[in-house]
Structure 1
Amino acid sequence: MPLTFTLDPVVDPALREGILDLWTDVSNAGGAVGFVPPVTSDDVRPTLDQQLAGVADGRCRLLVGHTEDGSVAATAFLTHNTHRLQLHWLWAYTVMVHPRHQGKGYGRALMAATEAAARSVEGIDAIRLGCRGGHGLEHFYAACGYKEVGRVPGAIRVAPGDDRDDITMLLPLH
């Protein structure tokens, strides 16, 4: 069952709740998307609202992958840099696929759709993203064409005594 991707969808209450459920479920499955389990929807909601405010005011873009039944299965947010010397690349963040869909190729499909979305923006030469060490995510992103360009050891503290590397990945588009 392939995903259907939509860039800049209308964010209605149903989509908002679908993304909230996705983000909560990914977090509770141990996904590296800004939280440490256990979390509730109430924990995630303020961060989602902040990101959706950025979508509403044009600071960032939202890419959503839906299954055939219309449920939210994957997301990525894309944001432009505001520094005048870094306008030629954008950030991808909160990149996630629902745990029940892991192993179906949806992650690769999401990254291909993210690349296509970035290529549709005039003047963008690369996509940059950060990932948390300890999950092997850098290997997944490398398989999608990204190159590790930076690593800060122990920069992410997920718990006392559990520090992870902050890894920066880059996908040149030209």
Structure 2
Amino acid sequence: MPLDFEVDPAVTPVLRDGLLGLWADASNAGGAVGFVPPVTPEAVRPELVKHLVAMSEGRTRLLVGYDGERRVAATAFLTRNTHRLMTHWVWLYTVMVHPRHQGKGYGRDLLAAAADAARALEGVEAIRLTCRGGAGLERFYVSCGYKEVGRVPGAIRVAPGDDRDDITMLLPLG
């Protein structure tokens, strides 16, 4: 069953808790979404609050994918670039599919929905994102039409002695 995607849903306690649970579960399953396991929803809360503040200020948009039971199954945040010479592209952050839904094509569906959401923004011509090297994520993004446009070796320290590349990917929307 495909996910039902919604852009800028009302942030209710149910949605907030769903986002926190997804983020913690994705992190604990080894997802490269800003944390290293083990992590709890409470540890994730300050980062989610930052995204929610950016949403309230109109700088960020939330894309949520709901499963057949209306549980949060996938998310991504689209953030406008505020530099006056770079407003023609957006950042895509915190791209996640719940571990129980991985392997069903929902990641591709999420990226396609994010591209549609970005196309709906006036003047946006591309999406940029960064991903953590060492997990094969760049191959997934390339298979979805993104191109690697930059790499900083060892920029992400997952643990002492475990440094990963920070990889920048670009998807032209034209």
Give the TM interval when normalised to the shorter protein.
over 0.9
Q: Secondary structure at the match of 1:116?
A: helix
User: How far apart, CA to CA, are the structure 1 residues paired with 2:55 and 2:33?
Assistant: 18
In structure 2, stretches of 5+ residues that fail to align are: none
The residue identity in structure 2 corresponding to 1:157 is R
TM-score, length-scaled by structure 1: 0.99
In the alignment, what sits opposite 2:169?
169
In the alignment, what sits opposite 2:109?
109
In structure 1, stretches of 5+ residues that fail to align are: none
Shift of residue 59 of structure 1?
A: 1.1
User: How far apart, CA to CA, are the structure 2 residues paired with 1:143 and 1:124?
Assistant: 22
Shift of residue 42 of structure 1?
A: 1.2
Shift of residue 41 of structure 1?
A: 1.2
The residue identity in structure 2 corresponding to 1:17 is D
Shift of residue 56 of structure 1?
A: 1.5
Aligned: 1:76 with 2:76: yes
Shift of residue 166 of structure 1?
A: 0.1
In the alignment, what sits opposite 1:43?
43
Q: Secondary structure at the match of 1:18?
A: helix
Q: Secondary structure at the match of 1:150?
A: strand
Shift of residue 85 of structure 1?
A: 0.3
Q: Secondary structure at the match of 1:123?
A: coil
User: How far apart, CA to CA, are the structure 2 residues paired with 1:6 and 1:122?
Assistant: 19
The residue identity in structure 1 corresponding to 2:122 is E
Aligned-CA RMSD value: 0.5
In the alignment, what sits opposite 1:10?
10
Residue correspondences, number: 174
Q: Superposition pairs for residues 9-28 of structure 1, below 5 Å?
A: 9-28=9-28
